[in-house]
């Protein structure tokens, strides 16, 4: 079990900020090799669970910062809560392990397909059930320069994760054969993996979408406001001054403040918005800012526009459990933590993109961009995507670079640039090829001035979402389970 835990922890180095993508293959290959020794579905479940504890314990432990430092939870209780959450997340690789141990049969290629299909479906379930938490899906490790990056536009992050799992498992199974069969094993491994990698390389050079129109000048503002100050009445005037000063020095046609840059419109001093609006109108610019908007005594996490393109609004649709709303039967949790604005109302599912200076911009807020299939509802109408985030909750942790890596994947999946305006980082622009041409250093105050071109056209993923990858995995899993009745002796075929 300890090797499974260590293999899971190793996978975290394949994600940003280290982004050593080959380690994703190594981590899954170790798990697949361990599962080969599992004598039952129960043993396979235990190995997958151990892998998951290592991966999520090392990969999302930054959630502790939000609960203990900013949520006021007792340190031991906060640590225990994160442990329980990681335990829940570990159930999904455990399910994949159990499926593999129960139904494995046949040669190395067949067993690798079974492992990959089970892995893909388990990750999709983790990203879907109970509102989902797809953070650290293994496909995110394969951003450029990985040769698998070209598949994002076709199969999405789950499909890329499935390909990663297949290559890793095939390597593990072929490496385990007797010395007399090594040559045949090497040939079996090299042919499909080379085909997968070469196809991915080719897909990354295919132009699914094309730029359209003149570049738009955008100013992405990073106020770098400490989270503890955002809800401190004594600091409110200073927070407003910082935001106004940064807006006034920004040069773009569209100026963007991050999520909840204005904690709530109810608290604003009289004339604050009017003064900002007058300045923007005079310059012919539009301000897009995050703000809490009150409706019928409850708040919505929204993005609103002021100035030349004023009067538009987007409200966050996919809320964070325990942070923005209480799941049923979990109201007691808020007696242990003090989280501001923790009972919010979600926005309507069907919300039109913003129209700013002749461009359609699809807005999403904070962790909404980890749900790739939900962003495609604004396509192909929107030519740009914009994420407003506030990761100050998680301090100086891996949350920031991991979130930027997720944004890169969304840009590749949808064939649209992803602009990011964040409170403390990482404020950046990600392009449809997965590159990040410009980014502000984290925990600095400033304005990222950039020019970005809208795109037209659709990627296969933007048209069909996760359906092709899921259908393929289900078909493979069903066929292999049915074939399991033949009880073939494991070999190379």
CATH number at residue 419: 3.60.110.10
Choose, from 36, 324, 366, 413, the residue flagged as catalytic.
366
Cβ–Cβ < 8 Å for 492, 108: yes
- Does residue 415 belong to any structural domain of this protein? yes
**Residues 125 and 228 placed together within one structural domain of the fold:** no
pLDDT at site 492 = 44
- Does residue 263 belong to any structural domain of this protein? yes
- Does residue 492 belong to any structural domain of this protein? no
- Does residue 491 belong to any structural domain of this protein? no
- Nearest Cα neighbor of 24 from 2, 45, 55 is 55
pLDDT for 327-341, tens place per residue? 665 665 655 666 665
**Residues 313 and 445 placed together within one structural domain of the fold:** yes
Place of tokens 């297949």: 166
- Does residue 37 belong to any structural domain of this protein? yes
Q: How many domains does the chain have?
A: 2
Q: What are phi and psi of 278, to 5 degrees?
A: -60, -40
pLDDT at site 490 = 47
pLDDT at site 325 = 66
- Does residue 279 belong to any structural domain of this protein? yes
**Residues 165 and 248 placed together within one structural domain of the fold:** no
Cα–Cα dist 405/490, whole Å: 38
User: Token digits for 274?
Assistant: 């009017």
**Residues 312 and 197 placed together within one structural domain of the fold:** no
Cα–Cα dist 78/233, whole Å: 26
Classify the C-alpha dihedral 100-104-107-109 as positive or negative: negative
Polymer length in residues for the chain: 493
Choose, from 253, 259, 368, 413, the residue flagged as catalytic.
259
Each residue's pLDDT expressed in tens, for the chain with a length of 493 residues: 999 999 999 999 999 999 999 999 999 999 999 999 999 999 999 999 999 999 999 999 899 998 888 778 889 998 999 999 999 999 999 999 999 999 999 889 999 999 999 999 999 999 999 999 999 999 999 999 999 999 999 999 999 999 999 999 999 998 877 777 777 777 778 889 999 999 999 999 999 999 999 999 999 999 999 987 877 788 888 999 999 999 999 999 999 999 999 878 877 888 999 999 999 999 999 999 999 998 877 889 999 999 999 999 999 999 888 767 666 656 656 556 666 655 788 999 999 999 999 999 999 999 899 999 999 999 999 999 999 999 988 989 999 999 999 999 999 999 999 999 999 989 999 999 999 999 999 999 999 999 999 999 999 999 999 999 999 999 999 999 998 765 544 444 4
366 is catalytic: yes
User: Token digits for 131?
Assistant: 């509102």
**Residues 402 and 477 placed together within one structural domain of the fold:** no
The range of the structural domain enclosing residue 105 comes to: 2-207+466-486
Cα–Cα dist 433/128, whole Å: 27
| Secondary structure in 3-state letters for the chain | CHHHHHHHHHHHHHCCCCCCCHHHHHHHHHHHHHHCCCCCHHHHHHHHHHHHHHHHHHHCCCHHHHHHHHCCCCHHHHHHHHHHHHHHHHHHHHHHHHHHHHHCCCCHHHHHHHHHHHHHHHHHHHCCHHHCCCCCCHHHHHCCCCCCHHHHHHHHHHHHHHHHHHHHHHHHHHHCCCHHHHHHHHHHHHHHHHHHHHHHHHHHCCCCCEEEEEEEEEEEEECCCCHHHHCCHHHHHHHHHHHHHHHHHCCCCEEECCCCCECCHHHCCCCHHHHHHHHHHHHCCEEEEEEEEEECCEEEEEEEEEECCCCCEEECCCCCECCCECCCCCHHHHHCCCCCCCCECCCCCCCCCEEECCEEEEEEEHHHHHCHHHHHHHCCCCCEEEEEECHHHHCCCCHHHHHHHHHHHHHHHHCCCEEEEECCCCCEEECCCCCCCEECCCCCCEEEEEEEEEEECCCHHHHHCCHHHHHHHHHHHHHHHHHHHHCCCCCCC
- Nearest Cα neighbor of 254 from 277, 282, 220 is 220
Cα–Cα dist 315/447, whole Å: 24
pTM of the entire structure? 0.94
**Residues 394 and 280 placed together within one structural domain of the fold:** yes
**Residues 278 and 325 placed together within one structural domain of the fold:** yes
**Residues 120 and 236 placed together within one structural domain of the fold:** no
- Does residue 253 belong to any structural domain of this protein? yes
Please, what's the largest Cα pairwise distance for the chain? 82
pLDDT for 118-169, tens place per residue? 999 999 999 999 999 999 999 999 999 999 999 999 999 999 999 999 999 9
**Residues 132 and 240 placed together within one structural domain of the fold:** no
Choose, from 316, 324, 368, 413, the residue flagged as catalytic.
316
pLDDT at site 489 = 44
- Does residue 142 belong to any structural domain of this protein? yes
- Number of Cβ within 10 Å of residue 136's Cβ equals 25
**Residues 189 and 61 placed together within one structural domain of the fold:** yes
**Residues 198 and 222 placed together within one structural domain of the fold:** no
**Residues 285 and 222 placed together within one structural domain of the fold:** yes
270 is catalytic: no
């Amino acid at each position: 079990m300890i090797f499974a835990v260590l293999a899971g922890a190793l996978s975290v180095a394949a994600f940003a900020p280290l982004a050593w993508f080959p380690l994703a293959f190594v981590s899954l290959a170790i798990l697949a090799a361990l599962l080969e020794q599992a004598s039952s579905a129960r043993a396979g479940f235990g190995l997958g669970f151990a892998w998951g504890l290592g991966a999520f314990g090392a990969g999302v432990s930054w959630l502790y910062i939000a609960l203990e430092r900013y949520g006021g939870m007792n340190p031991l209780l906060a640590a225990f809560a994160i442990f329980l959450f990681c335990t829940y997340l570990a159930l999904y690789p455990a399910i994949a392990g159990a499926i593999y141990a129960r139904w494995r049969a046949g040669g190395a290629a067949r067993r690798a397909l079974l492992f990959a299909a089970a892995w893909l479906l388990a990750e999709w379930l983790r990203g879907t059930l109970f509102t989902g938490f797809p953070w650290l899906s293994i496909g995110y490790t394969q951003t450029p320069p990985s040769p698998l990056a070209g598949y994002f536009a076709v199969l999405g992050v789950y499909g890329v994760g499935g390909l990663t799992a297949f290559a890793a498992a095939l390597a593990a199974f072929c490496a385990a054969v007797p010395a007399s069969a090594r040559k045949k094993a090497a040939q079996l491994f090299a042919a499909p993996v080379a085909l997968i990698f070469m196809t991915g390389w080719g897909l990354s050079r295919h132009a699914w979408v094309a730029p359209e129109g003149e570049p738009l000048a955008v100013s992405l503002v990073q106020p770098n406001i400490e989270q503890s100050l955002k809800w401190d009445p004594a600091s409110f005037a200073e927070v407003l001054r910082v935001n106004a000063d940064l807006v006034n020095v920004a040069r773009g046609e569209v100026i963007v403040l991050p999520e909840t840059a204005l904690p709530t419109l109810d608290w604003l001093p009289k004339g604050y918005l009017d003064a900002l609006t007058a300045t923007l109108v005079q310059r012919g610019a539009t301000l897009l800012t995050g703000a809490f908007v009150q409706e019928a005594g409850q708040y919505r996490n929204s993005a609103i526009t002021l100035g030349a393109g004023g009067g538009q609004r987007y409200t966050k649709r996919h809320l964070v459990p325990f942070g923005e709303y209480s799941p049923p039967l979990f109201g007691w949790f808020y007696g242990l933590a003090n989280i501001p604005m923790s009972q919010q109302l979600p926005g309507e599912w069907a919300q039109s993109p913003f129209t700013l200076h002749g461009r359609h911009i699809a807005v999403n807020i904070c962790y909404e961009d980890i749900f790739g299939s939900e962003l495609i509802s604004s396509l192909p109408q929107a030519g740009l995507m914009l994420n407003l985030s506030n990761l100050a909750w998680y301090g100086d942790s891996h949350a920031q670079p991991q979130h930027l890596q997720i944004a890169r994947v969304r840009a590749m999946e949808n064939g649209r640039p992803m602009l990011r305006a964040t409170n403390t980082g990482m404020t950046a622009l990600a392009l449809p090829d997965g590159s990040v041409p410009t980014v502000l250093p984290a925990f600095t105050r400033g304005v990222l001035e950039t020019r970005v071109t809208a795109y037209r056209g659709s990627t296969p993923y933007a048209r069909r979402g996760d359906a092709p990858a899921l259908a393929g995995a289900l078909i493979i899993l069903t066929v292999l389970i049915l074939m399991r009745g033949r009880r073939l002796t494991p070999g190379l075929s």
